[in-house]
Structure 1
Amino acid sequence: MIQRIQTIYLLVAVVLSVVCLCMQIGTFTEGGVAVYSEYNLWVTGPTGVRQFVTWPLFAVLLLSAAIGLYAIFMYANRLLQARFCMFAMLLVVGWYILYVVYGGVLKPGDGSAEFAPTWAGACPLVASVFYFLARRAIMADERLVRAADRIR
């Protein structure tokens, strides 16, 4: 049934992922002045030119959100729904690995800029917690159904 608690958890996780997709996830500063702004899809330079070098961040988070949205409608197959939740959590871990690489290792300009994450960079972490809660609720439903089948 679609009105289960895990549906709410999955929906919140998808919304948080989409919010992160639309917001600025970091700023590169040099001497206390913000020089570059990092988004999931591009980095905006001091002249306003967009460089689409961070598109893998966008692709991974978009795939995670799409899998979460698809998992909402997989309520008839609970085990597959739980696997989709786990895969979405793994994609969020991959997103954070890319986030660290683009924020700390691949610095724009001459490489002297310091990276400062924004609050939107924490949205996928919170979404991952909601994916975990959804998976736990799905598995509890599965245990309940198996117990009821055993009693019959």
Structure 2
Amino acid sequence: MIQRIQSVYFLLAIIAAALMFVFPLAEFFGDSNFILYVYKLDFFDPNPSLELSPYFLLPLMGGVIMIAFLSLWALLSFKNRKRQLLITKIGMGFSLLLLAGYFFGYALMLERAVDNPPHYELASFMPALIFLFLLLANKGVQKDEKLIKSMDRLR
């Protein structure tokens, strides 16, 4: 399982998704100074002027968990390459959705709320990195599938 290069890419995608919980997505400075994480808003002010629902970050956190789960499932589905390809494509779609949802949803909404542009951090670009890893894993699975088909023709 691990000797295949796509397994390494799946593992890197899982690690990148896990790192999104460690590093901040963005810092916002303005009326309310805070740092945006996948799972929380870390306010610097004791009485922040920004009021958000406790469920505000749930879709963002759910998307990251879903991508990590799909990558793990694809990693463990090494015996069924067609399923692995399908799961990888779904994961790629989720990572693009997460990237678009973050930059065109969360970041813009919070930018309007504090009247200042965000200072993007490392975790903001992790969905693009996850997409790249899943794309490379997809190419590896396709290469394996092509190799198996060519071996079947020789038999």
| C-alpha separation in 1, matches of 2:47 and 2:72 | 34
| C-alpha separation in 1, matches of 2:26 and 2:131 | 19
SS at match of 2:29: strand
**Correspondence for 1:39 among 33, 37, 40:** 37
1:85 corresponding residue in structure 2: 88
| C-alpha separation in 2, matches of 1:146 and 1:48 | 64
Identity %: 22
Q: 1:55 to 1:12 in 2, by over 3 A?
A: same
Runs (5+) with no aligned partner, structure 1: none
1:10 corresponding residue in structure 2: 10
CA drift of 1:110 comes to 4.5
1:96 corresponding residue in structure 2: 99
CA drift of 1:128 comes to 1.0
- Letter in structure 2 aligned against 1:47: P
Equivalent positions of 1:63-78 (< 5 A) are 63-78=66-81
1:135 corresponding residue in structure 2: 138
SS at match of 1:37: strand
CA drift of 1:76 comes to 0.5
| C-alpha separation in 2, matches of 1:109 and 1:150 | 60
2:21 corresponding residue in structure 1: 21
| C-alpha separation in 1, matches of 2:58 and 2:29 | 21
Q: Per residue, is there more strand in 1 or in 2? A: 1
Runs (5+) with no aligned partner, structure 2: none
Q: 1:88 to 1:26 in 2, by over 3 A?
A: same
- Letter in structure 1 aligned against 2:30: E
CA drift of 1:84 comes to 1.0
**Correspondence for 2:57 among 42, 49, 54:** 54
| C-alpha separation in 1, matches of 2:134 and 2:21 | 17
